[in-house]
Amino acid sequence: MRVALLTSANGWRGSGASYAKLARGLRDRGHVAHLVTAASKLTDRLREEGLEVTQIPGRNTGPREVWALRRALRSIGAQAIVADTPRDVRLSRYATLLHRARIVYRYNLNYRQPRTHLMDRVYVSGVSACVYQSRYIQNDAVKHAAWMSRIPAYHVPNGYDTARYAPRPDAARAFRERYGIAPSARVVLSAAKLTRNKGHDIAIAALNRARHGGLDLVYVVCGDGQLEGELVSIARRCGLPSVFTGLLGTRDMIAAYSAADLVVHPSLQEIFPNAVGEAMACACPVIAADAGGTGELLGRDGTTGVLVPPADVDALAGAVAAVFAESGRLRALGAAARRRIEEQFPVSRMVDGYERALAEVFAGGS
């Protein structure tokens, strides 16, 4: 198979990380999987991962962008395009008028409602199949646009490389030394873009409340974004010991997970969060807001992670205090979380799902 993976994402988290796993997995199975991007930051990061990338101009869908994508498709000899935003679908639809290829829509609308006007229906009418990362997002898509139920659908959750994402004690010690965190300190970590919908302000309030209840901890925040200055100020004003690392590379992120005693993921809406899956693969216990598809990944019975209501400071503070208070609970949660990833969400199963979807699209059965 010869596949173009098209994304207009700005940065690594989310689509960038997922596409990297998919490209590597397809390549390792003998397929051609070539990434097509629109942002230099993501292009550079994907190339650091050793992946083949073509960057096309801008983030619009005018003639210049269409022609650039058509050239990329032609150079790849692409039989299919995997696209994950409405903009990418529109661009793919125009480009495939000039280069015949199937379009697979990796449906990735989360923080805003789908656009459902006539032209969007026209663009999506050219889609051969939709891939949904979670049952939540599939149901949400059909709820807002019932006509999408007529497009062949595949449920393919994100997968995680448990050989790469695994506990690294030496890296954990080095990470703590690098950021001046004592070996005995309790580290609570969040990894996400520093934007309003990720709930870092909720986590700061909750962890500060837990600290005033007698829990000595350090909050480590991994990620970049427009709210960094505001969040640093909030943490400083309430006196919460905190470290803001900025966006980390994969090796440093694994070290961060390994150094953490607990991961909190307070995001107010998610499809199937990579940060939670990566943390679980690294045997980190996770407390997460029960938002979107997070529960599908983390599990709902309390043995592989803890879910709390979104934007509930009291519930998050109580859950953090509870897991630290119960001897052995953190270790048990972390071990069970890693087993869940190994058994239910290995990266091989993700690649299997896309291979199947693409093969059926090419065969014309879907």
Per-residue pLDDT of 266-309, as tens digits, reads 999 999 999 999 999 999 999 999 999 999 999 999 999 999 99
Q: Where in the chain is the domain with CATH 3.40.50.2000?
A: 2-159+346-363, 169-344
Whole-structure pTM over 0.75, yes or no? yes
Please report the pLDDT score of residue 118 as a whole number. Answer: 61
How many helices and strands in the chain, by DSSP H and E?
15, 13
Determine how many CB atoms are found less than 10 A away from the CB of residue 59: 14
| Residue 190: pLDDT over 80 | yes
Mean pLDDT value of segment 26-31:
97
Confidence of residue 159 (pLDDT cuts 50, 70, 90): very high
Question: Can you tell me whether residue 342 is helix, strand or coil?
Answer: helix
**Pairwise CA distance, residues 338 & 12, whole Å:** 23
| Residue 239: pLDDT over 50 | yes
Mean pLDDT value of segment 197-215:
96
Confidence of residue 9 (pLDDT cuts 50, 70, 90): confident
Per-residue pLDDT of 48-106, as tens digits, reads 999 999 999 967 889 999 999 999 999 999 999 999 888 899 999 999 998 999 999 99
- Contact at 8 Å (CB) between 259 and 184? no
| Residue 117: pLDDT over 80 | no
Please report the pLDDT score of residue 329 as a whole number. Answer: 96
**169-344 topology per CATH:** Rossmann fold (3.40.50)
Average pLDDT, the chain: 94
**Pairwise CA distance, residues 185 & 289, whole Å:** 24
- Homologous superfamily (CATH) of 2-159+346-363 is Glycogen Phosphorylase B; (3.40.50.2000)
Confidence of residue 114 (pLDDT cuts 50, 70, 90): low
Per-residue pLDDT of 315-339, as tens digits, reads 999 999 999 999 899 999 999 999 9
Which residue did the predictor score with more confidence, 188 or 15? 188
- Contact at 8 Å (CB) between 247 and 268? no
Mean pLDDT value of segment 217-222:
98
> CB within 8 A of 185, min separation 6: which ones?
176, 216, 217, 218
Confidence of residue 124 (pLDDT cuts 50, 70, 90): confident
Please report the pLDDT score of residue 366 as a whole number. Answer: 44
Question: Can you tell me whether residue 34 is helix, strand or coil?
Answer: strand
> CB within 8 A of 168, min separation 6: which ones?
254, 255, 258, 282
| Residue 116: pLDDT over 60 | no
